[in-house]
Structure 1
Amino acid sequence: MQGAEKGKQPQLDGSGLTIGIVQARFNEGITNALFDACFKELVALGVDANDIDHVTVPGALEVPLALQTLANRGEHDALIALGCIIRGETYHFELVANESGAGVTRVGLDFDLPIANAILTTENLEQAMARRTEKGTDAARVAVEMAQLVSELTINDDDMDILMNGDAE
């Protein structure tokens, strides 16, 4: 299998990829910074700005449904989830953090689609501010790398025929 060599460097060429981004508006100052860093890095990695779809939703709990809707379209090589959940004084933080994270993961697995989860979960605003640019950049890199990896690992129909029938044309 190509690309399975130990220690192979990740593929960070976003040329030809189509990426969808779902951004939660709650804590918008942080999520806008996440988006800006993410978008800038995607373009730097070669993703055409016209091949980046960006939608916003009210908060982190709404992110998985928007991701699922985009995944259903079958138009993206990878998706990115952006949001910010800051711990408060109630259990609500745990609920939102756990459920949004589980929803993002489920969509990726259900659709065999890479999703970079950059929904920050922090104790306070200062932690969120310290992570916003790096996490946005990381999300772009993860999306491109995983889109390339999944594409490389996916067995196409011709390869499957060879495996099943044992004869190559």
Structure 2
Amino acid sequence: MQHANKGADVALDGKGLRIGIVQARFNEDITDALAKACRDELAALGVADDDIEHVSVPGALEVPVALQALAERERYDALVALGCIIRGETYHFELVANESGASVSRLALDYRIPIANAILTTENLEQAVARQTDKGRDAARVAVEMAQLLATLS
């Protein structure tokens, strides 16, 4: 059996892809860094700036609603979810992390569109800062790779 996709061997080419990005504003310094890294990597992969729609929402719980609105347009090859949830002293962290993550996954399956989930869930600000650039870059690469894969499987 041959594998259609060998992970690290995949040549990523974003030319002609249309990508939607939804960024939560809560913990804005982190999410701005995620967005910058994501957009820079998308550009490096050949995604034209005109082919990117970037919207912002108040927080991680609102990200899925905006993702759904973008998915319903049927204009995008992939979507990206950007956010940052930092653990506090209450159960709110688990609620937001679990609900946003489950909703993003459900939307990807319901709309059959790749959604790169870069909603960080960290114990503290230092962990978020340490991950902001790599995770933003990773989200762009996942979006492009999965858009390419789904195009070949269709």
TM range (shorter): over 0.9
TM-score, L = length of structure 2:
0.96
Query: Is 1:119 aligned to residue 119 of structure 2?
Result: yes
**Secondary structure of 2:54 counterpart:** strand
Give the aligned partner of residue 44 of structure 1.
44
Superposed CA offset, 1:26-45 (max 9, x none): 00000000000000000000
**Secondary structure of 2:17 counterpart:** coil
Give the aligned partner of residue 97 of structure 1.
97
* Residue 11 of structure 1, CA deviation: 3.6
Gaps of 5+ in 2: none
Superposed CA offset, 1:132-154 (max 9, x none): 00000000000000000000011
**Structure 1 residues 75 and 3, CA, compared in 2 at 3 Å: closer, same or farther?**
farther
Name the amino acid aligned to 1:86.
Answer: I
Contact 1:26 1:83 in 2 (8 A): yes
**Structure 1 residues 65 and 37, CA, compared in 2 at 3 Å: closer, same or farther?**
same
* Residue 3 of structure 1, CA deviation: 6.4
TM-score, L = length of structure 1:
0.88
**Secondary structure of 1:121 counterpart:** strand
Q: What number of residue pairs does the alignment pair up? A: 154
Contact 1:11 1:149 in 2 (8 A): no
- After TM superposition, the structure 1 = structure 2 runs for residues 128-167 of structure 1, keeping only pairs within 5 Å, are 128-154=128-154
Query: Is 1:4 aligned to residue 4 of structure 2?
Result: yes
* Residue 10 of structure 1, CA deviation: 1.8
Task: Quote the Cα distance in structure 1 between the aligned partners of 2:49 and 2:31.
Answer: 19
The structure whose Rg is larger is 1
Q: Percent identity?
A: 73
**Structure 1 residues 7 and 13, CA, compared in 2 at 3 Å: closer, same or farther?**
closer
- After TM superposition, the structure 1 = structure 2 runs for residues 75-94 of structure 1, keeping only pairs within 5 Å, are 75-94=75-94
Give the aligned partner of residue 27 of structure 2.
27
* Residue 4 of structure 1, CA deviation: 1.5
Give the aligned partner of residue 108 of structure 2.
108
* Residue 5 of structure 1, CA deviation: 6.2
Task: Quote the Cα distance in structure 2 between the aligned partners of 1:43 and 1:5.
Answer: 23
* Residue 9 of structure 1, CA deviation: 2.0
Name the amino acid aligned to 1:75.
Answer: R
Instruction: State the superposition RMSD in angstroms.
Output: 1.6
